[in-house]
Structure 1
């Protein structure tokens, strides 16, 4: 998973640069270990400094760009199939571009602007505030790093579950052009081009663009003029990056990217008969009013049959070497994203509950880092500023609840400021000690209007927190690394996502007979309030490294405690579809294992395994559970390379992923019927590369046994909403050429 078979002759020189923050003796030891090994040790930047993955004192997985393609990973959701204790779903508002990562039982079930994810996603050091409408294609990727556990010191807010780093390929002096095409079942048509060129010794650029289309899984049976089928999607994307070496000490990189996608709502259905006391059942609707095939859809609302997403961004990075021992890095980014989506919750032709929705977000971030070396010590320190403005809209002229108009207006502005420092010290050639601290301030100003007689309600709140980390890493003579870490994380509080309880307050304060007085009373007793800040502390120890020339592994044992953690609870009330926060205390403990084993020079096996026990404190005699969190996760990926008589190479690979059963909401009551079954998905890839050729061709299969599974289940009290995965079997051919 995190390593690949490659010629390792040039690696020793690269490692000398990557490990500059260690003593000369440590660098020499690392080089010697790699020189004799068949396994490429990926260099990562998880700690904002370059390190060999084995020497990073946290649990993490890394995928190279080549690994992503050979494992059948076509988007970030697929990454969640191969990392222990990671589950990535994509169901927000029925959108095909959403990604909701859950690491060690921490994530977010929603996407509205007043909610923040518990797992942060970064692209080239730039935090993505929203996880709907972004550019999730994995073209031009150098590697992906998945950091498990709170990352509050270096990554700050919204990383209490972990962080996902996406690192793209930087421009360099190599002149190379790569093209890739993919044609397959389910209407798959995919093409991309990437080129890297040097304009001069000091100026280089790379550019990639692509198109990706996949057909649907069902039809909108009551909308013969629907533009797209259920689950169908297509997207154009592009990215350009320019690097200029202004001097020997100053390097400048400018990057711009954009994507434009659209398609049909992802598959979902509604269970009505199972809730005979629900409003849909009492209105005369039955399961037979939906569709026999859950991948079809019976809506008659055109607005909820299509989804779209657009995003664009620019970033500027400047790195300056002040001296041989001190350097600075400046990162500026500005991004915008928007989407259109929505669900017809009754899943029938009746216009009872349908919620067409639009959302947008604009963000700006600035980070300044200072790095340095003081003898056997090294440090990273910096300041960070982030601002996001966004909104969500459900227009009363389009959206309906119980057959009548409904509306949702949410606006929020978030400003975050932080200062941080991390220090490492090589106590001996084998023992490294590190620690860090981060101070964060968050300001949120939010407003909502769900009921015109009440009008817009405003609210604001500030939070601040000090996050810290202590870690030790020891390298044995065998090359095995032992580490132990205590780290904390922080997330600012959340506003209610769908505060329709404000309408109930209106009637409690007087109702329509005294509209002005009632509205004033609701505004004066504002219940649109944010929760307290979330805090986490993680105790972790583990081993990682190359035990032999043929075998590398990592194992982690962890115990993480969370305070004031909000679970989202969705309930249909007389006023509307209400989403509120259930505040809990949660403890997650478990073990994670990953390995690479070269059985022979040609036969390799990658494997991963995760087990997690999540304990949530009982509330009012009820014991909640962590939603969308499997207890067991596992994967195994054997790969074998054949050499034909003509010198050509054939590589056959299979990737099997398992995710245990889980619950779609914070309740394990079987009567609520929100349990999601376990699933096993299997991919294969067989590639043929002629000797001394610049191209290869592959036969691939994704989810070859057509395992159909649920992404989420929500019991609203009126009905059970079942969000189906957009995953299905796919077989095709991929061609790649390099010039």
Structure 2
């Protein structure tokens, strides 16, 4: 079969399914009247208003809290295994708490304060500016929404790839307490407690707290006193929400959360012999000096053996119903996060490339929304303000770099302002038109010091952009929805993450003894930010219930990006240099998801995604989208049955596939950065006695112990291979509700 035919096959198949649903509409409508649907459609707030997921004119996936429990999903990285064209990695500075989502070929390879993610993550409407240090435990979750494609109108900057909404459970009048405990192989100990209570008719609160520990995958062979093993981590987390409803029209929710985690560096290894022209090889280092087991670590630096993270946040949400047609919503949030991490990049006991670092970020955001209904029209409009101050530090006191400079002082303040308006109009009972526009202004002030003789260099830059979207969706007689959407997205430019190239400019201005060198570097505008990134997405698809026991969604998309930065890393005599390669990229593909109740007891969930990414040629080199598999797929059969004593047993398997991909923007096989495909399998078998308030489960995660790479970087001196912290795990989980 030719490549073209092979690539068109899933598209043709999905179209056939959709057309079959349309042609059988009258028959299906009669069946729908005769039999109650087995599928409960999830209500989402992707458009900042409540809608059934089938009515939202974008490609999106949604998981309820019960779905997350059933699939054994415990953190946001697991979500990435079951959403088409979504891949979530976590390798920032060797840390275990980071999460880097890539949707449709767009994400972020770095974590420093001058880099912004291409996929935005929100918790209860609050944007999380940083990946490292946040609380990614999915406790007390109402649902998770994954929006694919640019979301520049309602979600603004840093959502050119998509957005992930995490919605927690709000306090209500129901008195309920839930406890969960889990123990298993690899030293797993996990416990959590959630309670929701009403104090009065107007005041309620909920509270959850938990502890999660997982053992390591290897040892620090040259550090017998290391506190943690390689890949080991533990974390405490908690969250409290208080809801006050003084009148039927006014609702106030105050929420505070915090987490505190620490552990050992994420597993990684280094390939030295493969780069005989590299500095490590020329210095006498060899692969034989790296730990024989890639999950062990041969470093002699205690500063690169331990990672830690802390975060806390406070938010206030106020909703006021002006009347039956108009309402307002106000969201205020302050968040702080910090981390300590780092890598010994040479992977040996030799003190050559040690990069311990620490970072912190403080953010404040305010959003005010006005929603309303005007006959057949509805709208949401608002203003948004965001400020973030953050820094990263790496100093010679903590690191050593082959006699060269190792200092990295990076600071940045970002202020973003936006105003947005979205309007929807029901042209008929079946046809809806919608559109929106957003104006954003961004200002960044950054400074860097990578070498004291050069000193601190300052820079600032402003950007602004208008984002827009138009959409239409039509509901057929059988409930199937068609939609067509054109969306744009925007991301402000970025400053270099590790600007060691400034030292080279310094030498070019007269060497160490030239007192005017720093001024010359500043005069040449050497520390400059890139231009803003823009995206436009053309998309169409079908979603809905074809029968009472079968629901599906299929999307076809073509997205064009301009001035998109790829992070390109090299090692120089001055330091680990990260530059932005600015490209134009086109991503096109298909996504399919379905739920099928084969019988009343047997349910089958499935998804697949295909994507073709074309990047413009750069100086005779054809870049590729990093960490972006061409194919993604999952299938999750579950079967529930009753025993003679009326107890219920639910069995579930989850199979996830991610195709091979490249760890950096180059597909040159000589760079050896291709990551193999992987298939992971989970199972969960739960037992619930009749009329009991508890259940117990046997679970297995990655049961065939599939070991895979999270990332690969060719620095020009060596190949850095970041291993996944995923490994087989089997255990028992107990849950009870009171």
TM-score relative to the length of structure 1: 0.95
Tell me what 2:595 maps to: 596
What whole-Å deviation, never above 9, does each CA across 1:625-661 have from its counterpart, x for those lacking one? 0000000000000000011011000000000000000
When structure 1 is superposed on structure 2, of 34-43 and 722-731 the one drifting more is 34-43
Residues 440-589 of structure 1 mapped to structure 2, 5 A cutoff: 440-514=440-514, 516-589=515-588
| Contact map agreement 1:206 1:240 (CA 8 A) in 2 | yes
**Partner SS state of residue 589, structure 1:** strand
2: CA distance, partners of 1:572 / 1:445: 26
| Contact map agreement 1:399 1:405 (CA 8 A) in 2 | no
| Contact map agreement 2:35 2:548 (CA 8 A) in 1 | no
What whole-Å deviation, never above 9, does each CA across 1:233-280 have from its counterpart, x for those lacking one? 000000000000011110000000000000000000100000000000
Tell me what 1:688 maps to: 687
2: CA distance, partners of 1:584 / 1:670: 21
**Partner SS state of residue 495, structure 2:** coil
| Contact map agreement 1:457 1:526 (CA 8 A) in 2 | no
| CA displacement at 1:34 relative to structure 2 | 12
| Contact map agreement 1:34 1:40 (CA 8 A) in 2 | no
Tell me what 2:165 maps to: 165
When structure 1 is superposed on structure 2, of 171-180 and 66-75 the one drifting more is 66-75
Tell me what 1:13 maps to: none
1: CA distance, partners of 2:709 / 2:33: 45
Residues 147-296 of structure 1 mapped to structure 2, 5 A cutoff: 147-296=147-296
**Partner SS state of residue 512, structure 1:** coil
**Partner SS state of residue 612, structure 1:** strand
2: CA distance, partners of 1:334 / 1:34: 52
2: CA distance, partners of 1:658 / 1:403: 45
Tell me what 1:19 maps to: none
What whole-Å deviation, never above 9, does each CA across 1:444-483 have from its counterpart, x for those lacking one? 0000000000000000000000000000010000110000
Tell me what 1:385 maps to: 385
Q: Which ranges of structure 1 fall in alignment gaps of 5 or more residues?
A: 1-28
| CA displacement at 1:393 relative to structure 2 | 0.2
Residues 624-703 of structure 1 mapped to structure 2, 5 A cutoff: 624-703=623-702
When structure 1 is superposed on structure 2, of 122-131 and 63-72 the one drifting more is 63-72
2: CA distance, partners of 1:68 / 1:564: 37
| CA displacement at 1:36 relative to structure 2 | 2.0
**Partner SS state of residue 503, structure 2:** helix
Tell me what 1:5 maps to: none
Moved over 3 A (4+): 32-35
What whole-Å deviation, never above 9, does each CA across 1:555-590 have from its counterpart, x for those lacking one? 000000000000000011122110000000000000
Residues 137-152 of structure 1 mapped to structure 2, 5 A cutoff: 137-152=137-152
2: CA distance, partners of 1:663 / 1:72: 28
| CA displacement at 1:78 relative to structure 2 | 0.8
What whole-Å deviation, never above 9, does each CA across 1:508-538 have from its counterpart, x for those lacking one? 0100232x12222112212110000000000
Tell me what 1:338 maps to: 338
| Contact map agreement 2:539 2:557 (CA 8 A) in 1 | yes
Instruction: Give me the CA root mean square deviation.
Output: 1.0
1: CA distance, partners of 2:232 / 2:353: 23
2: CA distance, partners of 1:649 / 1:442: 55
Tell me what 1:25 maps to: none
2: CA distance, partners of 1:654 / 1:644: 20
Change over 3 Å in CA distance of 1:34–1:628 after alignment to 2: farther
**Partner SS state of residue 379, structure 1:** strand
Tell me what 1:22 maps to: none
2: CA distance, partners of 1:518 / 1:63: 56
| Contact map agreement 2:404 2:575 (CA 8 A) in 1 | no
| CA displacement at 1:379 relative to structure 2 | 0.2
1: CA distance, partners of 2:565 / 2:337: 26
TM-score relative to the length of structure 2: 0.95
Tell me what 1:303 maps to: 303
Tell me what 1:37 maps to: 37
Change over 3 Å in CA distance of 1:61–1:34 after alignment to 2: farther
Total equivalences in the alignment? 708
1: CA distance, partners of 2:417 / 2:692: 52
